[in-house]
Chain A
């Protein structure tokens, strides 16, 4: 069972697609990180939370047939690397379409969805997925 606190502390980022921007070099990051790998100590105290637009394009994709129990009901699902307009590349599902419609280069936007469920009695976890534009 996943403890509530573990999910709760990430909800801000997962619900709203909030990442970090290094105000030393201007690069954006997702997932959130405290230190910029280019600026090192110069970035300390200069990493600022930013809400991304949720727009991006598909860099690569796959249809997952073999998944852990928390995703059993979703199989087969499409997982993709989505390059956000702001730069970061994130791993997320593509939903509400036929797998055949998915292709590299297609534009997508973020939607808020149920991600996984922890058995029948556990917590239901939410976050971002993407839809084709």
Chain B
């Protein structure tokens, strides 16, 4: 096929509370690591896509595309640099835009970076900003937070399918175990089931160990056309498909509150385009900003029947299980810097597929499915990588 797209380099900052680093420090650090890793030069770069979710509200800084290009030292070249925003799915949205730009034949080499600097606002004020990923006027206005909306979904799901809280907690336990092997992860401590079950309540049935943390971080990748890869003798991982789908913004507007229709539709499209089956997938990275979403995603991405993901959380999803989930540590333990998440997933998957994942390496990793989600499921973006 014409203009196949390859990931030829990847890099990221550590995810966490990085007091000494600014929005621009983080973006530049990740970008340089990716470019260095790819072994390309500024003269090779056709365009930059920068993903960011909330810099306007948290850091009072817009114009993120220009900011990234400028402080990466690329202003003199006039390289196009645009920001892509799709809430918490901004990262995968930027990957997709870059992918399309190469697919179309317009560009041969594109740098995609995602950054979020969330700890510049302290205490509960950050919750007000984070709640902008919901419907601000009709959910957040009335006291909803991202955790509260996830809790409403969780309660009904657990009632209707007879799912115990333990199944949700196991998802976090798995994330922490995997993150203990990932040097970039925010939380590298192992979590026991007792700790996960007994944590401080946030919005019941969800407690603190069901919720992703507030994180700073940045991640970047370099995408290249098949032409560029052949000409410059590069190695890489192919993007087999990219798909996006939307759903209603508010949870209440959806036909079923525990069905992530955007994930369902995006996965269907992605599998169709990739020409592989679910059985071919070696591992998943899913958007588990709250543990409940992890279970719903296993179901709606097509790896379990509705209500049955609870059967996968004890063994299947482990690093050495039937279908490893979140080898990176996921959003719960690797961290959740909104705009960087979707690109961080690609960084980890790239390492896995290149067999450079170190201690957390999955044996015979051939194909990866990545799912990045906006808000409570308003948008889902799925990428399938491999070969």
Residues of B within 8 A of A91 (CB): 138-139, 142, 144, 149, 152, 250-252
Distance (whole angstroms) from the CB of A66 to the closest CB of chain B: 5
Q: At the interface, yes or no: A132 with Cβ under 8 Å from chain B?
A: no
Do B124 and A77 have beta carbons less than 8 Å apart? no
Q: Mark B48-78, 1 if CB is under 8 A from A, else 0.
A: 0000000000000000000000000000000
Q: Complex: how many Å from CA A111 to CA B159?
A: 27
Residues of A within 8 A of B203 (CB): 62-66, 79
Do B152 and A125 have beta carbons less than 8 Å apart? no
Q: Mark A63-92, 1 if CB is under 8 A from B, else 0.
A: 111111111101001011100000011111
Q: Number of B residues contacting the other chain (C-beta, 8 Å)?
A: 37
Q: How large is the interface on A (under 10, 10 to 19, 20 to 34, 35 or more residues)?
A: 35 or more
Q: Complex: how many Å from CA A30 to CA B253?
A: 8
Distance (whole angstroms) from the CB of B293 to the closest CB of chain A: 15
Residues of A within 8 A of B253 (CB): 88-89
Q: Complex: how many Å from CA A116 to CA B131?
A: 15
Do B156 and A68 have beta carbons less than 8 Å apart? no
Q: Complex: how many Å from CA A3 to CA B248?
A: 27
Do A92 and B204 have beta carbons less than 8 Å apart? no
Residues of B within 8 A of A92 (CB): 142
Residues of A within 8 A of B128 (CB): 68-70
- Interface contacts (Cβ under 8 Å), in number, total 109
Q: At the interface, yes or no: B153 with Cβ under 8 Å from chain A?
A: yes
Do A62 and B152 have beta carbons less than 8 Å apart? yes
Do B137 and A10 have beta carbons less than 8 Å apart? yes
Do A81 and B152 have beta carbons less than 8 Å apart? yes
Would A66 and B159 be within 8 Å (CB), given that A31-B250, A72-B124, A81-B251 are in contact? no
Distance (whole angstroms) from the CB of A104 to the closest CB of chain B: 6
Do B252 and A90 have beta carbons less than 8 Å apart? yes
Q: Mark A19-40, 1 if CB is under 8 A from B, else 0.
A: 0000000000011000001000
Q: List 29 A-B contacts (CB under 8 A).
A: A10-B137, A37-B248, A59-B257, A60-B159, A62-B148, A62-B151, A62-B203, A62-B204, A62-B205, A63-B203, A64-B148, A66-B147, A66-B202, A67-B124, A67-B127, A69-B128, A81-B156, A89-B252, A89-B253, A91-B138, A91-B142, A91-B144, A91-B252, A92-B142, A104-B155, A115-B141, A116-B141, A125-B141, A128-B142
- Give the 9 A-B residue pairs with the shortest CB-CB distance, closest first: A89-B252, A62-B151, A68-B128, A60-B156, A31-B138, A68-B127, A60-B152, A62-B203, A60-B155
